[in-house]
Amino acid sequence: MDRAFLTDLRRIVGDSNVLDDALELLTYECDALPHLRETPAAVALPSSAPQVQEIVRLCARASVPFVARGHGTGLSGGALPVAGGLVIALARLNRVVDVDIPNQRVTVEPGVTNLDITKHVAPFGYYYAPDPSSQQVCSIGGNVAENSGGAHCLKYGFTVHHVLGVEAVLPNGELVQIGGSLADTPGPDLLGLIVGSEGTLAIVTSVTVKILRRPETVQTLLAAFDTIDAGGAVVSDIIGAGIIPAAVEMMDSLAIRAAEAAVHPNFPDADTVLIVELDGPAAEVRALFDTVEQTCRRHGATTIEVAQTDEQRMRIWRGRKAAFAAMGRVSPNYYVQDGVVPRTKLPEVLNRIRALEARSGLRIGNVFHAGDGNLHPLICYDERIPGQSDAAVEVAAEILSYCIDAGGSLTGEHGIGADKSQYMPTMFTPDDLALMQRVRAVFDPHGLCNPGKVFPTPRLCGEVPGPYRRHPVEAAGVAERF
Amino acid sequence: MQKTPDPLWITPANASEVAGALKRASDARQSIVIRGAGTKEDWGRPAGGIDVVLDMRRLNRILAHEHGDMTATIEAGARLRDVNQALAVHGQMLPLDPPFADRATIGGLLATNDSGPLRHRYGTPRDLVIGVQLATTDGVLAKAGGQVVKNVAGYDLSKLVTGSFGSLAAVVSATFKLSPVPAASKTLTMSAADTAALAEIVRIVMASQLEPVAFEITTQRSTQNPLNSQNKTLSANSASSALTVVIRFASLPAVVDAQIAQATTALETCVTSIDAVEGDAERALWDAYATGIWDQPGAVVRASWLPANIAAALDELAGLKPCATSAPPAPAIPGVSPVMSPAAVAQGFSPALTGRAAVGAGLIRIDGETAEQASAIEQLRASSVFGNVVIVRGSAELKARVDVWGSHGSRQPLFDALKRALDPNNVLNAGRGPL
């Protein structure tokens, strides 16, 4: 990156909004996957879409690769900088543009946090449904890039089901409007393509989402079981009965103990706990909740706790949502994966993971979205013990192979990013990947827009996937992993 | 569909035959169209010469119904109705109720992203598809997405082909997330005295915690509208007296009754009549509703509006002029008279709208002569209330006067580049669009 480029960059966003000092760049070396680090040549902090356009045009002219970054909470290295490239940090595009309660739509800039959308509409009885556990701090732009989910996507879907439109800057600097407040933009669903494209096709500068009316009733229970198979059988029977819970979460004993140590949710000391939440019309929740409770009893639930108050419900969720960060209480280091299996294959795959745990000598905690088969195995290790870091990586890769064997996916909500790109050929054929690359080249013919993500590339020296280390944001206690 | 004298009609039996046919056509620069049941083959721009028809109907299997996982992988040529009959064995369904639902195929539904009243709860095909196998014009079979409901690995190309009208690639098969068939269902039909009352009904339902599966508004006159056949006849030609709201609840029987009671209480002061139907009568109502907009002659367009703007939208519709003086003069078409016939004026001009109240999307039927239809469509496109106005059914004359798709705006360069990338010899879909 030459001086002229930096001069132009300063002209666009102002001196104080260009960072190129080594110390300042430290913050931007990684996202919430801190073992992958790269120092960008500079960081630009635009505050408007026209500035983003100008920056991208400048990059295109100078052939400088660029990486868009929201609030850096991604778990797959999607915002990992490119050496010698530019990071375009969108934190200052943080305006709430329009809150339209009658039409149940909200338009925000990408730097607005997920939870802030809900905060703006909660007084009117509405909320924004996708709820990644980092929702207090993650940006909606990052949610769009990753197609974020959360505990409640079993019933309510992912970001792609809640975004009505985006305004985006293409890698050639053109501003394009895709979708919007009005439904049914004619032609191919470019919106559905861009959501989840991990920042490789465009930089989103405005997002219109739909908001939902709060359900009439919410009911949550926590049930404990002696075996993970019993918990799995309950999930199968609930779904088999035609019930779509708002959320179904499972935790195994290691995850339970960790959560208990960290936030004291008062979980029973059990092999497995299951959290089931139903929401909707009061009459419906009442009737279906009975079925859920009976199903738990039939499969030998050792305890069933029904949340009687909002406070109790929040406590149950606090225990669940703290599970990742809580691993720090029981292990010096851990590595989290995000594989998906068909729900019916959960018991089989969990048993394989338990066999792997015994064989590898590394403890593996399991926290997962049981309703949609999204696993979050937490592989515990101690980096001070020689070889354990590498062993953790191998164990994680093996778990992903179980997911693929079972007909599942490498990632349910964290994204491929830089972390799992080398595994893509285990899920997709060269033809599959070539077609995706053709589409990518339509948007980004010169390969400048977040290169090195999603698709397998020959790795650079030292750029290896690896285990988890605490991100500064997480260490400060403002974010958790999900 | 305008055909060359003898288009080659190919009925592939498997995925590789689909890919092979596309490659042969592309290599030979032959125009090729992908066809399911043909229920929407006249949608889009008038077709140019067609050399090859790729009839997908032999690819009609359900490749997998993983009922425990609530997913199904279905070949493109399978009919929605047949699919849903098979899925019902395990109490599940692909929750789509598009027009022509008895014949429409899975591939055609994806290509057009078509849906019906159930969209209110379940969305459109793009919301339900989780994986796809595509055949491209270079003869390659490629997949995207997967078999699991939660998956963010790679680009979701199932979305890219949704709404592409078969102009980028052929859908060979697709995987969908399914829903349980509800135990019971009831439907409320209501009449509103005027557009303001109808808008108030929409407002109340949207702001409520009611959870219907369908929430419809229609302006079809009750004399033409089987929905109201058991009700009173209509007075004169008043457009407002035909305003009908239809709300369907589906859940456990007791829950449906509770929701119906709640809705009735909330709405009874806004309506001039309110009736609940269930069972055969309810099924008949929805069958009639699905065909209502199509049964009468006239052009049919898709259009969108903001849900809270429904009164303005309906007023705009009622105020459409048979021939707008402000509309640009239509290009002269040989053999087409630029002026409407006096007879058409005498018959009256009464556009009808049927749509999803809370989504703000639906179909508008525009009767009258070609010139009137063209003028009305131009007026809708120029209005500040309606957007995304696309002609679906229309005569060749109409489609020659008014572009079917309207402007793609800033998306046009992307559409052009996608078309070049995936169909470099421009053989797919015979120029019908959208790209």
> CB-based contact (8 Å) between B234 and chain A?
no
SS3 A306: strand
Same domain, yes or no, for B10 and B127?
yes
**Is residue B94 situated within a structural domain?**
yes
pTM of this structure: 0.93
Residue whose C-alpha is closest to residue B417's, from A187, A309, A458: A187
ipTM: 0.94
**A129 CA to chain B: closest CA distance, Å?**
15
| Spatial separation of the C-alpha atoms in residues A457 and A23, rounded to whole Å | 29
Test the A interface: residue of B73, B128, B152 with most A CBs within 10 Å: B152
Residue type, A257: R
Residue whose C-alpha is closest to residue A259's, from A33, A481, A32: A481
Q: What is the CA radius of gyration of chain A?
A: 22
Handedness of CA B99, B102, B103, B108 (dihedral sign): positive
pLDDT per residue as tens digits for the range A384-423: 999 998 899 899 999 999 999 999 999 999 999 999 999 9
**Is residue B91 situated within a structural domain?**
yes
Query: Hey, are the CB atoms on A409 and B305 less than 8 Å from each other?
Result: no
Where do the structural domains in chain A lie, given as residue ranges?
A: 3-92, 96-213
Same domain, yes or no, for B69 and B150?
yes
**Strand pairing category for B71-75 and B62-66:** antiparallel
Residue whose C-alpha is closest to residue A83's, from A472, A474, A462: A462
Please report the pLDDT score of residue B334 as a whole number.
46
Same domain, yes or no, for B258 and B308?
no
Same domain, yes or no, for B21 and B152?
yes
Q: Which two tokens stand for residue A368?
A: 């997962």
Please report the pLDDT score of residue B338 as a whole number.
38
Query: Hey, are the CB atoms on A192 and B126 less than 8 Å from each other?
Result: yes
Same domain, yes or no, for B15 and B62?
yes
Same domain, yes or no, for B69 and B166?
yes
| Spatial separation of the C-alpha atoms in residues B98 and B76, rounded to whole Å | 16
Strand-pair partners of B250: B185
**Is residue B415 situated within a structural domain?**
no
Residue type, A289: F
Interface of B with A in 318-347 (CB under 8 A): none
CB A443 within 8 A of CB A171: yes
Which residue on chain B is closest to A423 by alpha carbon?
B153
Same domain, yes or no, for B49 and B140?
yes
Q: Which two tokens stand for residue A154?
A: 């079993």
Write the CATH number of the domain with boundaries A3-92: 3.30.43.10
**Which residues 6+ apart lie within 8 Å of A103 measured at CB?**
A181, B306, B307, B308, B309, B360
Compute φ and ψ for A295, nearest 5 degrees. Answer: -65, -40
Query: Hey, are the CB atoms on B148 and A182 less than 8 Å from each other?
Result: no
What CATH number should be reported for the domain holding residue B51?
3.30.465.10
Q: What is the CA radius of gyration of chain B?
A: 22
Q: Where are the alpha helices (DSSP H) in A223-275?
A: 228-240, 253-263
**Is residue B217 situated within a structural domain?**
yes
Domain boundary among B163, B180, B197: B180
CB B301 within 8 A of CB B373: no
Query: Hey, are the CB atoms on A283 and B68 less than 8 Å from each other?
Result: no
Task: Tell whether domain A96-213 is in CATH 3.40.50.720.
Answer: no
Same domain, yes or no, for B63 and B176?
yes
Q: Which two tokens stand for residue A380?
A: 């515990």
| Spatial separation of the C-alpha atoms in residues A350 and A353, rounded to whole Å | 5
Same domain, yes or no, for B287 and B321?
no
Test the B interface: residue of A291, A442, A444 with most B CBs within 10 Å: A442
Neighbours of B279 (CB within 10 A): 10
Question: In chain A, what residues touch B67 (CB-CB under 8 Å)?
Answer: 240
Same domain, yes or no, for B25 and B158?
yes
Could you state, in chain order, the average pLDDT of each consecutive group of 10 residues for chain A (482 residues)?
94 97 95 90 98 98 98 95 97 98 98 98 98 92 96 95 98 97 97 98 98 97 94 92 94 93 92 96 95 97 95 93 84 91 92 95 93 94 91 93 97 96 97 98 98 80 46 46 44
**Is residue B205 situated within a structural domain?**
yes
DSSP per-residue letters across B155-167: --HHHHHTTSTTS
Ranges of beta strands (E only) in B281-386 are 299-304, 352-356, 361-366
Could you state, in chain order, the average pLDDT of each consecutive group of 10 residues for chain B (435 residues)?
74 98 98 97 94 98 96 98 98 97 97 98 98 98 96 98 98 98 97 96 98 95 46 38 92 96 96 96 95 94 98 94 57 42 53 97 96 96 97 96 96 97 98 93
**Is residue B384 situated within a structural domain?**
yes
Residue whose C-alpha is closest to residue A235's, from A158, A126, A345: A345
Same domain, yes or no, for B53 and B147?
yes
Residue B401 structural domain: 296-408
What are the angstrom distances between the C-alpha of A320 and each of A45, A255, A370, A475? 35, 9, 13, 18
What CATH number should be reported for the domain holding residue B266?
3.30.70.2190
Same domain, yes or no, for B49 and B151?
yes
Count of domains in chain B? 3
CB B79 within 8 A of CB B56: no
